[in-house]
Structure 1
Amino acid sequence: MLSFARAEGAMGAFSASGTLAVMLDRNAAVILVNEPAERLFGRDLWVTGRHLACADKNATDALRRAFHVLLRNPTPPAMLNPVPLPRLGGRPLLAYPTRLPRITTKAHPVR
């Protein structure tokens, strides 16, 4: 519960700054979406099988590869280059895959 509360707090901070954010677990499955990001979901961007996808298969694959680099690399970079996600009716979205510092904590014995 504590970890989820911290994740929700981080999402609240992104929302307050007007930053679109989607939080993923270690398997790149969507666990939280803030309101600004949710407004973009539709014909250009969606969640399928708990994973992000867009209208362009190559862009979806590029996004998944970026998530793999962040989540499976023992020493991942803090941020990767943006991944353009083409849209049918407008300029592409730019996804900035970023790994936040660990949200979970280890339990410590009470003394």
Structure 2
Amino acid sequence: MLAPPNVLTGSRRRRITYGFVLAGGFGLVGLPLFALSVWPTVDHSAIGVNLLLMGLGVCLTSLGYAFGRIAVAACTEDGAKPVSAPTIRPYLVAGVALVIAVLALVFTLMTA
């Protein structure tokens, strides 16, 4: 499982608390950015701005998903059907989306 060491090495309560707090924080910031980028009535001046907002939104929401999955795995680790921790996939999605957002920012600044 790929996650920050302080989330993984701490107690179960710490993993649950940090996981849900970080998942909620990233999700509450990332979802409006993504929704703003795909909302049909919002007109941005350049396509780079839409790509930037979408890249940042996808990056933050996928990180929120990963931290939420860490918290749910900590909650259910002693249960009958424990949930597995996230694999590398959400972190790869976040990294690719962040690279797209940075490239869109560079493109937007170069053309402005």
Note whether the superposition's TM-score is higher than 0.5: no
Higher helix share: 2
Higher relative contact order (CA 8 A, sep 6+): 2
Higher strand share: 1
Normalised TM-score (structure 1): 0.31
Query: Max radius of gyration: which structure?
Result: 2
